[in-house]
Amino acid sequence: MGNRCRLWTVICHASSKWCGYPGLRAHNPLTSPITQRSRRTYNCGVKQPPHWNLRFANVKREDEKKEYEQYLCIASNFFLRRNAFGPRHIIRPQGSTPLSFKPDYMWSSPSETLGMRGEMLKLKCIFSGNPTPTVSWSLPIPDDASRVMYSTGGQEISIDDIQESDEGVYTCTGSSFIEGESYSQSRSINVRIESEPRFIIRPNNVFSESGDSVSFLCKAEGKPVPTIEWFVNGVNLQDTTQPIIHSDRFLHPDAYNMTFVDVRKEESMCIQCNASNKHGYVFADVFLSVDPQE
Tell me the backbone φ, ψ of residue 153, rounded to 5 degrees: 65, 25
pLDDT of residue 247: 67
pLDDT of residue 139: 94
pTM for the whole structure: 0.70
Instruction: Report the alpha-carbon distance of residue 256 to residue 218 in Å, rounded.
Output: 5
pLDDT of residue 215: 93
β-bridge partners, 213:
none
pLDDT of residue 7: 30
Domain membership of residue 6 (yes or no) is: no
Give 229 or 46, the one with higher predicted confidence. Answer: 229
Minimum mean pLDDT range among 28-42, 100-114, 150-164: 28-42
Q: Is the pLDDT of residue 134 over 60?
A: yes
User: Which of 85-99, 237-251, 256-270, 276-290: highest mean pLDDT?
Assistant: 276-290
Q: What is the mean pLDDT of residues 217-239?
A: 91
Helix or strand or coil: residue 152? Answer: helix
Minimum mean pLDDT range among 16-20, 85-89, 133-137, 226-230: 16-20
pLDDT of residue 133: 93
Helices vs strands, H then E, count in the chain: 2, 22
Q: Is the pLDDT of residue 278 over 60?
A: yes
Q: Is the pLDDT of residue 72 over 80?
A: no
Tell me the backbone φ, ψ of residue 269, rounded to 5 degrees: -160, 170
Q: Is the pLDDT of residue 177 over 80?
A: yes
pLDDT band at residue 253 using 50, 70 and 90 as cut-offs: confident
The CATH number of the domain where 237 resides is what? 2.60.40.10
In a shared domain, residues 110 and 32: no
Among residues 142, 171, 194, the one where a domain terminates is 194
Domain membership of residue 22 (yes or no) is: yes
Domain membership of residue 11 (yes or no) is: no
Among residues 72, 94, 116, the one where a domain terminates is 94
Domain limits for position 122: 101-194
Domain membership of residue 287 (yes or no) is: yes
pLDDT tens-digit map of 57-67: 777 777 776 66
Q: Is the pLDDT of residue 208 over 60?
A: yes
Instruction: Report the alpha-carbon distance of residue 293 to residue 59 in Å, rounded.
Output: 87
In a shared domain, residues 184 and 105: yes
- What's the mean pLDDT when you consider all of the chain? 79
Q: Is the pLDDT of residue 234 over 80?
A: yes
Q: How many domains does the chain have?
A: 3
Contact call for residues 215 and 258 (beta carbons, < 8 A) = yes
